[in-house]
A = this chain, B = another copy of it.
């Protein structure tokens, strides 16, 4: 396995490439450049040209162009002849792309972003719970129950707290029967994974199980408004904690 030595090789990016099935140079470069943009690596310097990017990372221009095109599709870049490739204002980044969100949450951790995201969750998830109460199938309800059961098991150390929490919230979103809500699957998973350390540090999750169960029970008895309120309370609590943390940090 003696290939040309390059900054980015197929080996450089093994398993953690959550982007579809890719573990090839293009996806590697996509990840490196994307993360670089989000971190702010190019904030005070002109973004490199295709040729420079290719040379710097030791890959061909074709690979570079494909990675750049993918980042363009995600709203991070735009390219024009003679002007070069430039970073788009953050307002046009596609935050609902799980790659972009992942990069954002991964960087120097921003409580503000976490608050913004949970301000979104407090809109989305209660409504999803309400929809789920109206039309979730038995299977979908069973998935929620399983998630809850895992949370209880995790309490006793028999399962992973984070994975259980995610499983429950994802199950509710799936139960909504609405493809837009279902899209939040990856986002919520990504964000919870990042924020769990944060929220855990502030407050034990012991009380949380009961809150989750309240959502679950309401959905089971087809109580749409009850499910909405319970879920809103659940996420509202998280939001409150974040607000307090922000206030403490700035004080």
Contacts and interface: CB of A to CB of B under 8 A. Distances in A.
Interface of A: 20-21, 26, 62, 65-66, 69-74, 78, 80, 90-91, 94-97, 116-117, 119-120, 122-124, 126-128, 131, 178-183
A170 to B, nearest CB: 12
Contact of A62 (B21, B62, B74, B183): B62
A110 B21 CA distance: 31
Contacts of A21: 78, 80
Copies of this chain present: 2
Given A21-B78, A21-B80, A119-B131, A69 B26 contact: yes
A119 B127 CA distance: 8
Contact of A178 (B65, B80, B119, B183): B119
Contacts of A80: 21
DSSP class of A's interface residues: helix, strand, loop or mixed? helix
Given A91-B179, A119-B180, 17 more contacts: A26-B69, A69-B69, A70-B73, A90-B179, A94-B94, A94-B96, A94-B183, A95-B180, A95-B183, A96-B180, A97-B97, A116-B178, A116-B179, A116-B180, A120-B180, A122-B127, A123-B128
A242 to B, nearest CB: 13
Contacts of A65: 62, 66
B72 A182 contact: no
Given A80-B21, A94-B97, A183-B94, A178 B120 contact: yes
Nearest to A122: B127
Contact of A69 (B66, B94, B120, B181): B66
Contacts of A62: 62, 65
A189 to B, nearest CB: 13
Contact of A96 (B70, B72, B91, B96): B96
Contacts of A78: 20-21
